Homo-oligomer: A and B are copies of this chain.
Amino acid sequence: KNGVNGSDKPHKRVVVFDCRPERDVDATERVLDINGLDFNDFLQFVSKEFAIPSNETFVLTTTDRKGIDLDRYEELQQGNTLHLLQSEDQTLPAATKEHIVFLPHYDTLVQSGMYEYYASEGQKSLPYAFAELIDNALSATSHNTGVRTIDIRLLFDESLGKHAVVIMDNGCGMTSKQLNNWAVYRLSKFSRETGTFSSDHAGYVRPDPVPRSLNSDISYFGVGGKQAVFYIGQSTRMITKPAGSPDVHELIISKEEFERKERNKEDIYSGFIRNRKMGDSSHVSDDEERFLHGLISEEVGKDSFTAVVVTGVQPEHITFLKQDFHLWTRELAHLYHYYIHGLNGNDMKASYRNSDCVSNIDIQISLLEKFPKIPRMVNLREIDNDMQTLYINASADTFEFKACTDNEGTVEGVLRYHPFLYDRETYPEDPYAIQATEEDDEDSIVLNQARGKRPIFECFWNGRLIPYTTVSEFDWCAWPKKTGTVPAECYSRFSGALFTNDRFQVSTNKLTFMDLELQLKNKETLFTRIVNGQEQRVKIQKEFHQWLKTCHEKWDKQVKFRGFKGTIKRTDV
């Protein structure tokens, strides 16, 4: 082979250290090219190179002290290190330095998401893999002037070839260099070089602060996309076109390719990007991928886009995606609530919609099965039973606040009051939650709590929900120790949301915050109330208490007297 990375004539070089006793301090090292030599030639070559007298015996071993014999000689590989010894068990008079390579195994990519997207008992994990790809699409479309389209298509129609999951966006696309970088595991925006030339090197620029940190800058580690695609399936074709270039770039990474390269002892982390004109699907020869022709023909006329095409989709995933369509699309609507509904969320009562707060982000999901099954489609914005929608629309009043940490961390927060109306609490229940058992019901009645044991706050990072971290309460809004002017049950009538910027750290799978609660409960962290966008320089606890009192008086429509029957205490015997 005489390609761009090969050299001109084949070599098989081994390094031999002279470790025979009573020599100089440093072991003498020779690089010997043994290509074409048989075992005897090799032994003679060694004798000559190290000037070994013909009456002196010697052995050659690996650094693991395996003697080199005829069989093992044949198996020696380029770069192996050998010790020249007087005897196999002789100690080394001086140290030797053995060159090694320790490339990460390809499971780094292939299995990256496998033992990470553990959800509460493996149930809801798939939506969080999709979320990583939506995160990327949100980042990519953040500078779009018009509508930002994120199109998730589940192509489960056998008549079009094998099952595929496609995530397409009309964002900025990637240059071939960026596409190459996409494939580099753990290459984050903080350490990335974006071009070939020094003039291209534009370091990461943190976006300016925006309300509720809805900055679309939802990438951090350089792993999300890879974890996601290998969690969903076994092979991924990235198709992308950056604005201002007529070319489309394509790259495939797949488990099968990795395995093939390993078998053939090829470089594991190398591959080819195909650069081609728009709409050209002439390279798609596999009949199993014929759905690609349609997909590629859609390219024509687009200024820039990215399509992530995942195949080899795990069968359990296909079942889940079909059967639980409502469930996982609702979970995605929940994760991206404020991106798809705008700053104020899905307030269905709002008689007018402030144009600043309306979102231009369309996240569409379509499930296409074989005729005569009818395609299912949903725009996440249409979903009206995600928890944030329920909270917002069951809210009679809100209390906004803000906190800052000393390392530029900002948190905006909102509390929403869900009043008692006539004969019932209006605090929303999760319609899909596992039916509470009898005892649990009893508990919450005993505790007089509409919220029950649920934590108060759901938490958003750069505007995106981090699903497994909740904050149960803060000091200033916790269940009161003593009876006050406000009935205790009012303390269970509010829900809340926190919006942090990325100075608060999340785990690589974006399922949990690292130390949000710890930082917020730090004594240094100061909370201020926000009224009409203005910080109020007053004690938050007092403000909150005042708000709660007002809420109770204004909104709780039938305040029923509840005789306090006293706590039943066990009389210890």
Q: Look across to chain B and name the residue whose beta carbon is closest to the beta carbon of A242.
A: B64
Q: In whole angstroms, what is the CA distance A282 to B269 when docked?
A: 38
Q: Is A277 an interface position by the 8 A CB rule?
A: yes
> Are the C-beta atoms of B122 and A515 separated by less than 8 Å?
yes
Distance in angstroms from A531 CB to nearest chain B CB is 31
**A108 CB contacts on chain B under 8 angstroms:** 104, 108, 185-186
> Are the C-beta atoms of B443 and A175 separated by less than 8 Å?
no
Q: For residues 101 through 146 of chain A, which have their beta carbon under 8 Å from a beta carbon of chain B?
A: 101-109, 111, 115-116, 118, 121-123
**A424 CB contacts on chain B under 8 angstroms:** 572
If A4-B79, A274-B96 touch, whether A445 touches B569 (CB-CB below 8 Å) is: yes
Task: Pick from B5, B14, B438, B558: contact of A99, CB below 8 A.
Answer: B5
Task: Pick from B64, B115, B567: contact of A176, CB below 8 A.
Answer: B64
> Are the C-beta atoms of B107 and A222 separated by less than 8 Å?
yes
> Are the C-beta atoms of A270 and B77 separated by less than 8 Å?
no
Q: Is A377 an interface position by the 8 A CB rule?
A: no
> Are the C-beta atoms of B479 and A439 separated by less than 8 Å?
yes
Count of this chain's copies in the oligomeric assembly: 2
Interface string of A529-555 (1 = CB under 8 A from B): 000000000000000000000000000
Q: In whole angstroms, what is the CA distance A186 to B102 when docked?
A: 11
Interface string of A7-51 (1 = CB under 8 A from B): 110010111000000000000000100000000000000000000
Q: Is A197 an interface position by the 8 A CB rule?
A: yes
Q: Is A147 an interface position by the 8 A CB rule?
A: no
> Are the C-beta atoms of B104 and A512 separated by less than 8 Å?
no
> Are the C-beta atoms of B79 and A5 separated by less than 8 Å?
yes
Q: For residues 146 through 185 of chain A, which have their beta carbon under 8 Å from a beta carbon of chain B?
A: 175-177, 180-181, 183-185
Interface centre among A65, A79, A94 (most CB of B within 10 A): A65
> Are the C-beta atoms of B105 and A186 separated by less than 8 Å?
yes
**A15 CB contacts on chain B under 8 angstroms:** 4
Interface string of A409-449 (1 = CB under 8 A from B): 00000000000001110000000000000110011011100
> Are the C-beta atoms of A197 and B75 separated by less than 8 Å?
yes
Q: Look across to chain B and name the residue whose beta carbon is closest to the beta carbon of A108.
A: B186
Task: Pick from B106, B270, B515: contact of A100, CB below 8 A.
Answer: B270
Q: Is A573 an interface position by the 8 A CB rule?
A: yes
Q: Is A188 an interface position by the 8 A CB rule?
A: yes
Q: In whole angstroms, what is the CA distance A74 to B411 when docked?
A: 48
> Are the C-beta atoms of B77 and A196 separated by less than 8 Å?
yes
Task: Pick from B186, B251, B275: contact of A96, CB below 8 A.
Answer: B275
**A100 CB contacts on chain B under 8 angstroms:** 176, 180, 183, 251, 270-273
**A253 CB contacts on chain B under 8 angstroms:** 102
Q: Look across to chain B and name the residue whose beta carbon is closest to the beta carbon of A109.
A: B104
Q: For residues 185 through 200 of chain A, which have their beta carbon under 8 Å from a beta carbon of chain B?
A: 185-188, 191, 195-200
> Are the C-beta atoms of A183 and B102 separated by less than 8 Å?
yes
**A573 CB contacts on chain B under 8 angstroms:** 422-423, 558, 560
**A282 CB contacts on chain B under 8 angstroms:** 95
If A247-B65, A275-B96 touch, whether A186 touches B104 (CB-CB below 8 Å) is: yes
**A269 CB contacts on chain B under 8 angstroms:** 101-104
Task: Pick from B109, B195, B446: contact of A568, CB below 8 A.
Answer: B446
**A96 CB contacts on chain B under 8 angstroms:** 274-276
**A297 CB contacts on chain B under 8 angstroms:** none
> Are the C-beta atoms of A7 and B7 separated by less than 8 Å?
yes
> Are the C-beta atoms of A188 and B107 separated by less than 8 Å?
yes
If A198-B75, A276-B92 touch, whether A267 touches B101 (CB-CB below 8 Å) is: yes
Of A321-329, A341-349, A394-402, A502-510, the one with at least 4 CB within 8 A of chain B: A502-510
Q: For residues 240 through 280 of chain A, which have their beta carbon under 8 Å from a beta carbon of chain B?
A: 242, 244-247, 249, 251, 253, 267, 269-278, 280
Interface string of A58-83 (1 = CB under 8 A from B): 00001111100001100111111001
> Are the C-beta atoms of B7 and A31 separated by less than 8 Å?
no
**A188 CB contacts on chain B under 8 angstroms:** 105, 107
A-B contact pairs, 20 of them (CB 8 A): A4-B14, A65-B246, A66-B196, A93-B277, A95-B275, A95-B282, A99-B271, A100-B176, A102-B180, A104-B269, A105-B186, A106-B186, A107-B186, A107-B188, A115-B507, A115-B514, A118-B512, A121-B517, A424-B572, A438-B481
Residues of A within 8 A of B (CB): 2-5, 7-8, 11, 13-15, 31, 62-66, 71-72, 75-80, 83, 89-109, 111, 115-116, 118, 121-123, 175-177, 180-181, 183-188, 191, 195-200, 221-222, 242, 244-247, 249, 251, 253, 267, 269-278, 280, 282-283, 422-424, 438-439, 442-443, 445-447, 479, 481, 505-508, 512-515, 517-518, 558, 560, 562, 565, 567-570, 572-573
- In the A-B complex, the 6 residue pairs with the closest CB atoms: A7-B7, A102-B183, A95-B276, A104-B185, A105-B186, A64-B175
Further pairs besides A95-B282, A102-B271, A115-B506: 10, Cβ < 8 Å: A90-B246, A98-B176, A100-B180, A100-B251, A101-B180, A102-B269, A102-B270, A108-B185, A123-B518, A560-B570
